[in-house]
Amino acid sequence: MSTELPVLKPADFGSDQDVRWCPGCGDYSILAQMKKALAEQAFPREKTVFISGIGCSSRFPYYMNTYGMHSIHGRAPAFATGLKSVRPDLQVWVITGDGDSLSIGGNHLMHALRRNVDINIILFNNRIYGLTKGQYSPTSETGKVTKSTPMGSIDNPLTPLSVAMGCDGAFVARSIDVNIKHLGKTLLAAAAHKGASFVEVYQNCNIFNDGAFKYATDRETKTDNVLELEHGKPMIFGKDRDKGIRLNGITPEVVELGKGITEDDLLFHDEKASEPTLAFLLARMRQPEFPEPIGVFRSVDAPVYDDMLNSQIEAAREQKGTGELDALFNAGDTWEVS
């Protein structure tokens, strides 16, 4: 590869297609941060692939000037697994929605994560079905009144990160559409991680679920409601950075700093912890009892599916050579007819 790669700007990662999301949709911000992140990481554009399912969020690949596939509802991780199996040289991103990944596609998400395929899964969580015009989704809060639930939904919602953790996700993170610096940083960390990376992005659907994450984005409230995780740092939050998370037995609790409680009493974030137990506890922390953590919950090294698949091919070749058709045909008992 030549060392003088032309430096690409964020705009170079945009396609010539008109972006068709509703004005004000959180997806715009994620698109912008993605272009920036790709320009910054400087990975060859022609080796970058976006694969999505179906949903508003899944229109994403059309707007990127990379290779891309807008596939079918819920199955993007499976397409990505096949592609990555034969083309480990590519950087493959999966773009999905809360319905796409957790309703119809729950099975594929689960298996891509536990196999640890080297792909980056970005879940746009707007807690609603956007494209089909506003039915509740598997992340909608119980009691949600929508077109399909006039008396309120009765389903218990899923926490995407708990699902990811339950599948032994090796890289699990969360960010927010409008928290642009944090989002950019998180996308880059996901890209840099070898193995399956899972990022949930809180995304506002201003048409069908406006303000779903207001508590986490409003100037007034966000510092009290969001805890930014940093590796090796104590878990402190609040407008005046005077609150923290402490472990009481196996239960996290919010404490106020001062009055005999110091930073050393707090939980320190360790994204490299081999057991996901603490990361799982963090994923369960929800408003209003707790601030909701963002950042990298977990980032550990684990054997990567496509690496192992291809090492088996190499090992077989070392043992048996690259394969001769004639030898393959003539294996076993043969006989001559003259």
Partner 1 sequence: MSTTAPVNASDRPVENISSATVRLAGDSGDGMQLTGSQLTNTSALAGNDVATFPDFPAEIRAPRGTRAGVSGFQVQFASEDIFTPGDQLDTLVVMNPAAYITNIGDLRKGGTLVVNTDSFTDKDFRLADIEEDPLDDPDLENNYRVIKIGMTTLTRAAVEELELSTKIADRCKNFFAMGFIYWLYGRDLQPTLTFIEQKFGNKPEISGANERALKAGWNFGETTESALSTYHVTPAKLEPGTYRNIMGNQALALGCVTAARLSGKELFLGSYPITPASDILHELSRHKHFGVRTFQAEDEIAAVCSTIGAAFGGAMAITTSSGPGIALKGEAIGLGMILELPMIVINIQRGGPSTGLPTKTEQSDLYQAMYGRNGESPLPIIAPRSPSDCFRTAIEAWQIASKYMIPVLLLSDGYIANGAEPWLIPNAADLPEINIQHPGPREEDAEPFLPYLRNEDLARPWAIPGTKGLEHRIGGLEKQENTGNVSYDPDNHQRMCELRNEKVQKIAEFIPEQEVFGEQSGDVLVLSWGGTYGACVTAVTRCVSDGLSVGHAHLRHLCPFPRNLETILGNFKKVLIPELNLGQLNTIIRSEFLLEAETLNKVKGRPFTVTEIEAKFR
Ligand X SMILES: Cc1ncc(C[n+]2csc(CCOP(=O)(O)OP(=O)(O)O)c2C)c(N)n1
Question: Which residues here bind ligand SF4, judged by CB under 6 A?
Answer: 21-22, 25, 27, 56, 126, 130, 205-208
Candidates 26, 68, 77, 97; binder of ligand X (CB under 6 A) is 97
Task: Assess 126 for contact with ligand X (CB under 6 A).
Answer: yes
Q: What sign does the CA torsion over 204, 36, 83, 276 have?
A: negative
Amino acid at site 320: K
Question: Which residues here bind partner 1, judged by CB under 8 A?
Answer: 15, 17, 44-47, 49-51, 54, 61-62, 64-72, 75, 77-87, 89-90, 107-108, 110-111, 309-310, 312-313, 315-317, 319-326, 328-338
For the CB of residue 25, give the shortest distance to ligand SF4 in the complex, in Å: 3
d(CA 296, CA 56): 25
Candidates 100, 118, 177, 306; binder of ligand X (CB under 6 A) is 100
CB 65 within 8 Å of CB 12:
yes
For the CB of residue 66, give the shortest distance to ligand X in the complex, in Å: 20
Task: Assess 123 for contact with ligand X (CB under 6 A).
Answer: no
- The residue (of 24 and 44) whose beta carbon lies closer to ligand SF4 is 24
The secondary structure of residue 62, as a DSSP letter, is G
Residues 243, 235, 229, 164, Cα dihedral to 10°:
-110
Residue range at the interface with ligand X (CB under 6 A); choices 50-58, 143-151, 212-220, 275-283: 50-58
d(CA 44, CA 36): 14
Backbone φ and ψ for 118, nearest 5 degrees, come out as -75, 75
Helices 305-320 and 76-86 cross at an angle (nearest 10°) of: 30
Q: How many residues bind ligand X (CB under 6 A)?
A: 17
Task: Assess 196 for contact with ligand X (CB under 6 A).
Answer: no
